[in-house]
Amino acid sequence: MFNLSKEQAERARRIHESSLVVDTHNDTILHIIKTPPFITSVSNPLPPRRTLGERSEHGQIDIPRIREGGVKCLLFAMYVDPQYTARLRRLVQMMDAFHSELARYPEQVSLVTSYREIMKAVKDGKIAVMITIEGGEPLEGSVEALRAMYRLGARSLTLTHFPRNELGDGSGADSGSHLTEFGKHVVQEMNRLGMIVDISHLNQTGFWDVLELTKDPVLATHSNCKALCSHHRNLTDDQIKALAEKGGVMNLSFCAGFIKDGIGFGDPEAVKKVTIHDWLDHLDHAVELVGTNHVGIGSDLDGGCGFPDLHDVTKFPHLTEGMVARGYSDSDIKKVLGANNLRVFKKVLS
Ligand SMILES: [Zn+2]
């Protein structure tokens, strides 16, 4: 894949194993929850039900594969399709299913809500698991729902998904609108609680509103560079610079459609045209803009993303090999692998 010398390959292995590797986005709960109703369609059928603990032939993330990929801390997103009419109830079902699943593997995983808990979990040899909510839809306009979810362990919220919701416009339905009053209230409440604001999926006007409003650094948990791929989900150079100036981190996804122009979502043939070199081009571009302190990894595996070189979580060591091949220093590689996100977790999560 990279033609590394024996020494370089050994160096990559050493860096990867000694790093606290963080992945800021996956949709694995959608493959685990067994509680109906399920919103499916012909083009988006229900994937096979899996568990976190058993290695599966299907999907992209489970405990054995997380171990093999050397990933130590993962953000698991709870995503409620907007077609659910009882949105908050669906989120409650997901939170219940996820907590129940974690409880089956107490020796392997640890739910974390703070920087200290992350460090303890990793020290104890466990996978640190953080809960995030993807899209403000299930809050149903209630800040009490946000606080209740915080109390159930959620430590981040992606303000929107593709459509508009009670907080503002998603980039897929961008009318140029600002954050709503409720959206602003949520950002302020998240700052107060110590929750990480995630600007992935948000429209541009909303993004600038968040940066003006937030006291804490924010994350883009799964977004790529618009300069290299024009998809509306990606961030412009100005957005990447502003995110960095606030101390935040842009986490690059493995979504083929956000890496290369002209790749449709869920088109298995087109996905084969994307390689890890294309992903590394996004990394190089972001680093050229803002240096190595503000870039990380947010795979979006089990969320319709991945491509042959990075088709599941076991492939994370390839990222380290790629960074070695492109001449990054040990300390810069460690920052991208996890240290940058850990800096934000330490600052924001109280
Ligand atoms: Zn997403």
Return the CATH number at 274. 3.20.20.140
Interval between CA 4 and ligand 1 midpoint (Å): 33
Interval between CA 10 and ligand 1 midpoint (Å): 34
**Residues 308-328: what's their mean pLDDT?**
98
Q: Is position 269 within any domain?
A: yes
**pLDDT tier at 245, thresholds 50, 70, 90:** very high
Interval between CA 171 and ligand 1 midpoint (Å): 11
Q: Is position 1 within any domain?
A: no
Rg of the Cα atoms in the chain: 19
| Alpha-carbon span 192 to 183, nearest angstrom | 14
| Alpha-carbon span 212 to 192, nearest angstrom | 16
Interval between CA 133 and ligand 1 midpoint (Å): 10
Q: Is the pLDDT of residue 70 over 90?
A: yes
How much is the pLDDT for 142? 98
Interval between CA 128 and ligand 1 midpoint (Å): 21
Domain that holds residue 234: 6-348
Q: Which helix (H) or strand (E) segment is 257 a member of?
A: helix 256-259
Least confident piece of the model among 134-138, 262-266, 300-304: 262-266
**Residues 5-12: what's their mean pLDDT?**
98
The pTM score is 0.98
Interval between CA 135 and ligand 1 midpoint (Å): 8
Interval between CA 266 and ligand 1 midpoint (Å): 14
Kindly report, residue by residue over 153-196, the tens digit of the pLDDT. Answer: 999 999 999 999 999 999 999 999 999 999 999 999 999 999 99
**Residues 328-340: what's their mean pLDDT?**
98
Kindly report, residue by residue over 46-60, the tens digit of the pLDDT. Answer: 999 999 999 999 999
User: Residue 308 is which amino acid?
Assistant: P
Q: Is position 320 within any domain?
A: yes
Interval between CA 327 and ligand 1 midpoint (Å): 30
Three-class SS of 207-235 = HHHHHHHCCCCCEECCCCECCCCCCCCCE
Place of tokens 């460690």: 334
How much is the pLDDT for 45? 86
Kindly report, residue by residue over 17-47, the tens digit of the pLDDT. Answer: 999 999 999 999 999 999 999 988 887 889 9
- 280 and 318 Cβ atoms separated by less than 8 Å: no
Question: Number of structural domains, the chain?
Answer: 1
